[in-house]
Amino acid sequence: MKYDIQGETLPVVIMELEAGETVITEAGGMSWMSPNMVMQTTTGGGIGKMFGRALAGDTMFQNIYTAEGGPGMIACAACFPGSIKTFEITPDNPMIFQKSSFLCSEAGVEFSIFFQKKIGAGIFGGEGFILEKISGSGLCFAEFNGHVIEYELGPGEELIVETGNLAAMTASCNMDIITVKGIKNKFFGGEGFFNTKITGPGKVWVQSMSPQEMANALARFLPKSSS
């Protein structure tokens, strides 16, 4: 499969498939496609998988698109201002994404939920107890808020991330929360009470805007309902 990610503020990934090649998207994830792309809606692994995706912030059903009778094309656009990133998933390199990040993938990629092992990270880490785990084999495309920067951490090396700015990490990394020190810092520093600590080895992707920051920015322009 060939692909091209275009656009900056609202990106789109355009995929070119050979005959018989398949792409998996969220329900409603297709933006445009060639007429020979055939769609099949599926539970993506049964009732358990459906509810797992729902808990992780994605759609319960998935769509499978196959190029029939020759090469085909399909495009999936981001649903909010940000970035689309490509990940090469292999059996020994699963990924952990923030909620609602999965956009589309090749057929060999598997989606499941990832539970935070530590209660503190689940409650205060900004992503809740449930994240997305992407495993299997193939290309996977994920959408994140704002600009995304990648860091590679060595064994024991740490990165402190503001709550909600963690976009993705390799499954080899460990996630925990730390408390912001100092009463004044907590209440007047504008950073909240907790930060997220990522410990290597592995790669970490951070986003310049958290989902909550984006929601707050958009809320200012939404009409207020009269009581």
What are the pLDDT digits (tens) for 69-104?
999 999 999 988 899 999 999 999 999 998 888 999
Rounded CA gap, 205 and 114, in Å? Answer: 17
Give the bridge partners for 185, in sequence order: none
Pull the structure tokens for residue 43. 């539970």
Instruction: State which fold the 2-219 domain adopts.
Output: Double-stranded beta-helix (3.60.160)
What does the radius of gyration of the chain's CA atoms come to, in whole angstroms? Answer: 19
- Nearest Cα neighbor of 82 from 190, 185, 215 is 215
Task: Provide the pLDDT for residue 121.
Answer: 46
- Indicate whether this model's pTM tops 0.85: no
Residue reference for tokens 């094309």:
73
List Cα–Cα distances, 36 to 5, 59, 219, in angstroms: 22, 25, 40
- Nearest Cα neighbor of 130 from 62, 52, 26 is 52
Rounded CA gap, 54 and 29, in Å? Answer: 15
**Higher per-residue pLDDT: 45 or 206:** 206
Amino acid at 32: W
Residue reference for tokens 């057929």:
107
Burial class (CB in 10 A: 0-12, 13-18, 19+), 8: exposed
Task: Provide the pLDDT for residue 8.
Answer: 82
Rounded CA gap, 33 and 48, in Å? Answer: 30
Q: How many beta carbons lie within 10 A of that of residue 121, not counting itself?
A: 20
What are the pLDDT digits (tens) for 11-45?
999 999 999 999 999 888 999 999 999 999 987 66
Domains of the chain by residue range: 2-219
Task: Provide the pLDDT for residue 48.
Answer: 55
